[in-house]
Chains A and B, each alone.
Chain A
Amino acid sequence: MRKILIATTAAMLAAGVSLVGASAAEKLKVGFIYIGPIGDLGWTYQHDLGRLAVVKEFGDKVETTYLENVSEGPDSERSIEQLARAGNKLIFTTSFGYMDPTLKVAKKYPNVHFEHATGYKRDKNVSTYSGRFYEGRYIQGIIAAKMSKAGVLGYVASFPIPEVISGINATMLGAQTINPNIKVKIIWANTWFDPGKEADAAKALLDQGADIIMQHTDSPAPMQIASERGKLAFGQDSEMIKFGPKSQLTSIIDNWGPYYIERVRAELEGTWKSEDFWGGLKTKMVVMAPYTNMPDDVKKLAMETEAAITEGKLHAFKCPVFAQDGKEVECKGGTHLDDGQILGMNFYVKGVDDKIPGK
Chain B
Amino acid sequence: MHLVLERRTEQSRTIALVSPLIAIGLTLVTMSILVAILGTNPISALGVYFIDPLTDGYSLQEIAVKATPLVMIAIGLSLCYLANAWNIGAEGQFLIGAVAGSWLAVKTHGTDAGPWVLPAMLLLGAAGGALYSLIPAICKVRFAASEILTSLMLVYVADLVLDYLVRGPWRDPAGFNFPTTAAFDPVATVPVLIEAGRLHLGAVIALVVVAAGMVLLGKTIKGFEIRVVGAAPRAARFGGFNSNQLVLLTFAISGALAGLAGIIEVAGPVGNLRPGISPGYGFTAIIVAFLGRLNPVGILIAGLFLALTFIGGEQAQIAMKIPLDVTKVFQGILLFYVLACDSLILYRFRLIFASPKVSRGAA
Contacts and interface: CB of A to CB of B under 8 A. Distances in A.
B265 A74 contact: yes
Interface stretch (B106-114, B176-184, B335-343): B176-184
B279 interface: yes
A344 B274 contact: no
Interface in A149-203: 159-162, 165, 190
Contact of A13 (B44, B178, B179): B44
B47 A82 contact: no
B274 A72 contact: yes
Interface size class of A (residues with CB under 8 A): 35 or more
Residue among B51, B55, B274, B318 facing the most chain A CB atoms (10 A cut-off) = B318
Contact of B176 (A69, A71, A72, A343): A343
B52 A13 contact: yes
Nearest to B278: A73
A9 B277 contact: no
Given A16-B44, A83-B318, A86-B318, A161 B178 contact: yes
A120 interface: yes
Given A79-B314, A82-B314, A10 B321 contact: no
A85 B276 contact: no
B62 A78 contact: yes
Contacts of B58: 81, 85
Most buried by A among B171, B183, B198, B268: B198
Contacts of B196: 108
A100 B311 CA distance: 21
Interface in A133-162: 159-162
B276 A78 contact: no
B129 to A, nearest CB: 17
A77 interface: yes
Contact of A71 (B168, B268, B276): B276
Contacts of B323: 68
Nearest to B319: A86
A74 B44 contact: no
Contacts of A37: 324
A71 B277 CA distance: 8
Interface in B94-126: none
Nearest to B275: A72
B333 interface: no
A93 B179 CA distance: 18
18 contacts: A10-B55, A65-B321, A66-B317, A67-B324, A71-B279, A72-B274, A72-B275, A73-B274, A73-B278, A75-B66, A78-B62, A78-B65, A78-B198, A79-B314, A100-B183, A159-B179, A162-B176, A358-B168
In the A-B complex, the 8 residue pairs with the smallest Cβ-Cβ separation, listed nearest first, are A13-B47, A74-B269, A358-B168, A73-B276, A73-B277, A86-B318, A71-B279, A10-B51
Given A71-B279, A78-B314, A343-B176, 19 more contacts: A10-B52, A10-B55, A17-B319, A66-B317, A72-B274, A74-B277, A74-B279, A78-B62, A78-B311, A79-B314, A81-B58, A96-B178, A97-B274, A97-B276, A100-B271, A120-B176, A160-B177, A161-B176, A190-B163
